[in-house]
């Protein structure tokens, strides 16, 4: 299960694309607003795709978060990413 507030934060950004710039410009502001668990914040700010997935964040949200934060995802997103972890 994803840390408190993470999915809500990403769902908000899906619905409010103008706020996506905050992921790069003021990520702590977003994390505070959605009361994201402080233990998860370092991973959200600098973690890899696999580290984000290990937190229980849905794979689709992992990719969105990485794209919005300007971090690499991978050249393609293999469906095995989901099935290998089940």
Q: What is the pLDDT along the chain (86 residues), one digit of tens a residue?
A: 899 999 999 999 999 999 999 999 999 999 999 999 999 999 999 999 999 999 999 999 999 999 999 987 665 556 666 666 65
- Where are the chain's structural domains? 6-83
CA distances from 50 to 16, 61, 81 (A): 26, 12, 9
pLDDT of residue 85: 62
Give pTM, 2 decimals: 0.80
Q: What pLDDT was estimated at residue 79?
A: 66
What per-residue confidence (pLDDT) applies to 6? 96
State the pLDDT at residue 43: 96
According to the model, what pLDDT value does residue 71 have?
A: 84
8 Å CB contact between 74 and 57: no
Where helices occur in the chain by DSSP H, the ranges are 6-15, 22-25, 27-33, 41-46, 49-54, 59-69, 80-83
């Amino acid at each position: 299960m994803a840390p408190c507030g993470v999915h809500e934060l990403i769902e908000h950004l899906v619905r409010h694309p103008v706020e996506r710039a905050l992921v790069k410009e003021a990520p702590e502001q977003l994390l505070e607003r959605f009361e994201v668990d402080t233990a998860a914040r370092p991973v959200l700010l600098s973690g890899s795709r696999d580290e984000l997935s290990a937190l229980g964040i849905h794979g689709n949200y992992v990719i969105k978060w990485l794209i919005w934060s300007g971090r690499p995802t991978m050249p393609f997103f293999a469906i095995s990413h989901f099935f290998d972890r089940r």
